[in-house]
Amino acid sequence: MQLDGENIHALHNRGISYERLSQYKEAIRDFTRVIEIDPDNANAYFNRGCCYDSVGELDLAISDYSVALELDMRNGGNKDEGADGNRGELEEDQNYGEEEEFYDGAQQYL
């Protein structure tokens, strides 16, 4: 069976399946294709952000979570707690890393 490359529902569902199988590269590809076809698809941005988070691409994950939140609010939805929570945790993790580097560097002067 071959997938219709323009069917966003099939692409999105396959992306979710890939994500659950930890095949993040394939999932990112499918979510990206959904976004190319439907740039206002907040769920595709959110799910792609989760995949980027899983592979350590934190800047890309935060960017996708931010777009998902913006689209959700623009489309009249409620604030997506998942995207907001994930974005906040990643931003804290990034700041923690910077603080840890500063602390490690400062220790040499003590």
Q: Which residues of the chain have pLDDT under 50?
A: 1, 79, 96-100, 102-110
Question: What is the predicted pLDDT for the residue at 108?
Answer: 41
Query: Whole-angstrom Cα distance, residue 16 to residue 31?
Result: 9
Question: What is the predicted pLDDT for the residue at 34?
Answer: 96
Predicted structure pTM score: 0.69
Q: How many domains does the chain have?
A: 1
Question: What is the predicted pLDDT for the residue at 6?
Answer: 82
Question: What is the predicted pLDDT for the residue at 53?
Answer: 96
> What is the domain range of residue 49?
8-107
Question: What is the predicted pLDDT for the residue at 81?
Answer: 52
The CATH number of residue 33's host domain is: 1.25.40.10
Rg (CA), the chain: 17
In-domain check, residue 84: yes
**Is 90:58 a contact under the CB 8 Å cutoff?**
yes
In-domain check, residue 3: no
